[in-house]
Amino acid sequence: MAMADWIRPPYAEQEDIFLSRCTKCDDCIAACPHNVLFPLPARLGDRVAGTPAMDLGCRGCHLCADWPCVAACETGALQRTESPEDAAPARPKLARLTINQGTCLPYAGPECGACASVCPVPGALIWEGGLRPVIDETICTGCALCREACIIDPKAVDIRSPDHYTTTQKMNEQPSDPVVED
């Protein structure tokens, strides 16, 4: 499992802060009612081994209304941002999702709609002309429930890390060789 295959839980602090606060207690993992969170394996190194993560390529985050994973975190490694009293709480940006028009069935002609009713964020997944799914990246949280619902293989929803939109490789893609400057 490469780092590109996992993403931190909702409302995770920036990685260095997260790692300094996370005690690897597994409380957030136990609190997730959909079994989306898991501890990272030891082969990834002592620094991250045992810390919670999600593999959105396999299972989407349900964006639980009461955020049990965040509520279970007593150290502040997972921490909701405060919103003004009259504003709805901000949703976390888990990942950046895009529809792969080369593999999505409606872009090739046949009807599908497997992902049509699974998006929990109003306006994030819209249907262009009522026929083709389009993800509005300004609204989408990256929960990947649309990817989980996708019926084709490979999935027609690509995932990228939210922190490095232009530099992080897609999940399940082989990273390119690093550029070495002379």
pLDDT (tens digit per residue) in 4-19: 578 999 999 999 999 9
- The residue among 160 and 163 whose pLDDT is bigger is 160
Res 91: pLDDT: 87
Alpha carbon distance 142, 29 (integer Å): 19
Quick check: 18 and 43 in contact, CB under 8 A? no
Average pLDDT, rounded, for the chain: 85
Res 63: pLDDT: 95
What is the end-to-end Cα distance of the chain in Å, rounded? Answer: 31
Residue type, 93: K
Alpha carbon distance 21, 78 (integer Å): 9
Quick check: 118 and 133 in contact, CB under 8 A? no
- Specify the pTM: 0.81
pLDDT (tens digit per residue) in 98-140: 999 999 999 998 889 999 999 999 999 999 988 999 999 999 9
Residue with token string 């300094």: 20
- The residue among 66 and 173 whose pLDDT is bigger is 66
Q: Pick the closest to residue 32 from 4, 73, 92, 89 (CA basis).
A: 73
